Amino acid sequence: MSMRIANTAAGGSGLRLIDALRSNGFRQLWYASWAWYHARWMETMVLGWAVLVLTDSPWLVSLVGFFRMASMPVLGMVAGIVADRLDRRRVAIAAQVVNVLSLSALLALTAAGVAEFWHIAMVTLAMGVAWTFDFPARRSVITDLVGAPRVANAMSLDMAAMNGAKMIGPIVGGVLLTATGLPGAIGALLALYLVGFVFLVKTKFPPRQARPASEPVPAMLSQGFRFVARNQALVGVMLVTIVANMFLFPFVLMVPVFAKDVLHVGPALMGVLAAADGLGSLLGAMYLASRGNAGNPGRVFLFGTSIAMAMVLAFALSPYYSLSLLILFLEGLAVASFGTMQSTIVLLATPPEMRGRIMGVLMMAIGAGPVGTLLTGAMAEAWGAPRAIAIDAIAALALMGVVFFLAPVLRRAKA
């Protein structure tokens, strides 16, 4: 079956680097996302380090990552239906209210000196549920805000914001942990979520291009899955997403363990190590944004993700801090193609009335992450973090070879 992506040739070749930011609505949403992404990447390092100091257990570090993503496979499709049927702006606002309240509670506990592992785990779970509902509501509106010809540019800019946060957030988190301790770092996280909330409230979500027919929830669920199953390109995207989230991305949660136990550095240099990945991802996303709509998004998606997996394998084998910095920078360059092209292909291959549901299916694929996180944590506890990440990377590369054969149309499709 051929890849069904909307024709975006008109104006695509002349897109400039920040073309999508001409849309006021997308610009406000981009500012909000910029703040949230910084908070999210700071949170990964700050809470990971806090749990490691509290428990000295790589398994419990990975368990916090599990709680952050546990709701995705369970609620992802429900969140997609909510995004299709309800006011997307209100859904996004409600999600951010949950984030603000959760971090406020954790800040009070840490300031009082009574925070324990289970407090961090429960707050992380609540914020993960909020993210599950926020993602399809916020992503599904992007095409309405910028128009189909600018979707790839918009997603590249969104990924640039995320990847800039991957660079800056861990450094700031490490510095704050060193200078102010855990309460100061969590206070900064809360401030960033509040900034994002203000920009979100200012964002005007346009009317839907189309609404789904009023049908029972089981029928809507079935339609979403059937639509994906009939489109080989979407099947390929979902398979790569499952593989990457299960075997590629768990290494991020292990960065504090590598920093402390393998490379023997403190929280500040841990932040710099994590930032190398972010710097590479930022440059990669900005390059993709400057190209406008990639001529073959599927090929960029597949090969970029595979190169990132090879770099993670090299990181697992590196005993030197400076070499690890370089490897994570190169990994970041390659992985930028994953986040940018993943949502670009999904949005362009999906009709307006189904975007929320297909984003919900994507959330379920991302939900493979908790399984990978627990598996990686268990292996790291038993055999050490380097061996666990090496096994993950080898498995990821092997499975990508399978995807190449199962979804050949993804390599050939044009945007």
Confidence check: pLDDT of 414 > 60: no
The Cβ-side half-sphere exposure at 245, using a 13 Å CA radius, reads 25
Q: How many other CB atoms are there within 10 angstroms of residue 7's CB atom? A: 11
In this predicted structure, what is the pLDDT of residue 217? 65
Q: Which two tokens stand for residue 363?
A: 């959330």
Give yes or no for a contact between 265 and 321, defined as CB atoms under 8 angstroms apart. Answer: yes
Residue 187 pLDDT grade (very low, low, confident, very high; cuts 50, 70, 90): very high
pLDDT average, residue stretch 190-196 = 93
pLDDT higher at 397 or 292: 397
Question: What is the spatial distance between Cα 67 and Cα 45, in angstroms, rounded to a whole number?
Answer: 15
In this predicted structure, what is the pLDDT of residue 336? 85
Give the torsion sign (CA, 91, 99, 121, 263): positive
In this predicted structure, what is the pLDDT of residue 354? 80
Question: What is the spatial distance between Cα 6 and Cα 180, in angstroms, rounded to a whole number?
Answer: 50
Question: What is the spatial distance between Cα 56 and Cα 371, in angstroms, rounded to a whole number?
Answer: 21
Residue 183 lies in a domain: yes
In this predicted structure, what is the pLDDT of residue 210? 57
Confidence check: pLDDT of 257 > 60: yes
Confidence check: pLDDT of 9 > 60: no
Give yes or no for a contact between 147 and 259, defined as CB atoms under 8 angstroms apart. Answer: no
Give yes or no for a contact between 334 and 208, defined as CB atoms under 8 angstroms apart. Answer: no
Residue 61 lies in a domain: yes
In this predicted structure, what is the pLDDT of residue 156? 77
Residue 8 lies in a domain: no
Determine the 3-state secondary structure of 269 from DSSP.
helix
Which DSSP symbol is given to 263?
S
pLDDT average, residue stretch 101-109 = 93
Confidence check: pLDDT of 375 > 50: yes
pLDDT higher at 360 or 197: 197
Residue 4 lies in a domain: no
Confidence check: pLDDT of 310 > 50: yes
Q: Which of 291-295, 325-329, 389-393 has the weakest average pLDDT?
A: 291-295
Confidence check: pLDDT of 415 > 50: no
What percent of the chain is modeled with pLDDT above 70? 91
In this predicted structure, what is the pLDDT of residue 1? 37
Element (H, E) at 273: helix 267-290
Q: Which of 209-218, 267-276, 324-333 has the weakest average pLDDT?
A: 209-218
Residue 7 lies in a domain: no
Confidence check: pLDDT of 12 > 70: no
Give yes or no for a contact between 299 and 411, defined as CB atoms under 8 angstroms apart. Answer: yes
Give yes or no for a contact between 140 and 356, defined as CB atoms under 8 angstroms apart. Answer: yes
Question: What is the spatial distance between Cα 143 and Cα 26, in angstroms, rounded to a whole number?
Answer: 10
Sequence-distant (≥ 6) Cβ neighbours of residue 367 within 8 angstroms: 69, 71, 72, 73, 74, 76, 245
Residue 41 pLDDT grade (very low, low, confident, very high; cuts 50, 70, 90): confident
Q: How many domains does the chain have?
A: 1
In this predicted structure, what is the pLDDT of residue 6? 40
Taking alpha carbons only, the member of 176, 29, 47 closest to residue 96 is 29
Give yes or no for a contact between 41 and 272, defined as CB atoms under 8 angstroms apart. Answer: no
Q: Transcribe 78-100 into DSSP letters.
A: HHHHHHHHS-HHHHHHHHHHHHH
In this predicted structure, what is the pLDDT of residue 342? 84
In this predicted structure, what is the pLDDT of residue 413? 54
The Cβ-side half-sphere exposure at 13, using a 13 Å CA radius, reads 3
Residue 209 pLDDT grade (very low, low, confident, very high; cuts 50, 70, 90): low
Print the domain residue range for 264.
19-205+217-412
In this predicted structure, what is the pLDDT of residue 17? 66
pLDDT average, residue stretch 132-138 = 86
Sequence-distant (≥ 6) Cβ neighbours of residue 172 within 8 angstroms: 38, 42, 188, 271
Question: What is the spatial distance between Cα 15 and Cα 5, in angstroms, rounded to a whole number?
Answer: 19
pLDDT average, residue stretch 292-317 = 86
Which amino acid belongs to residue 382?
Answer: A
Confidence check: pLDDT of 312 > 80: yes
Residue 12 lies in a domain: no
Reduced DSSP (H G I as helix, E B as strand, rest coil) percent helix, strand, coil of the chain, to 5:
85, 0, 15
Confidence check: pLDDT of 258 > 50: yes
In this predicted structure, what is the pLDDT of residue 155? 79
Residue 292 pLDDT grade (very low, low, confident, very high; cuts 50, 70, 90): low
Confidence check: pLDDT of 389 > 90: yes
Residue 133 lies in a domain: yes
Domain with residue 401: its CATH number is 1.20.1250.20
Residue 384 lies in a domain: yes
pLDDT average, residue stretch 356-360 = 80
pLDDT higher at 61 or 307: 307
Confidence check: pLDDT of 215 > 60: yes
Question: What is the spatial distance between Cα 165 and Cα 41, in angstroms, rounded to a whole number?
Answer: 6
In this predicted structure, what is the pLDDT of residue 309? 96
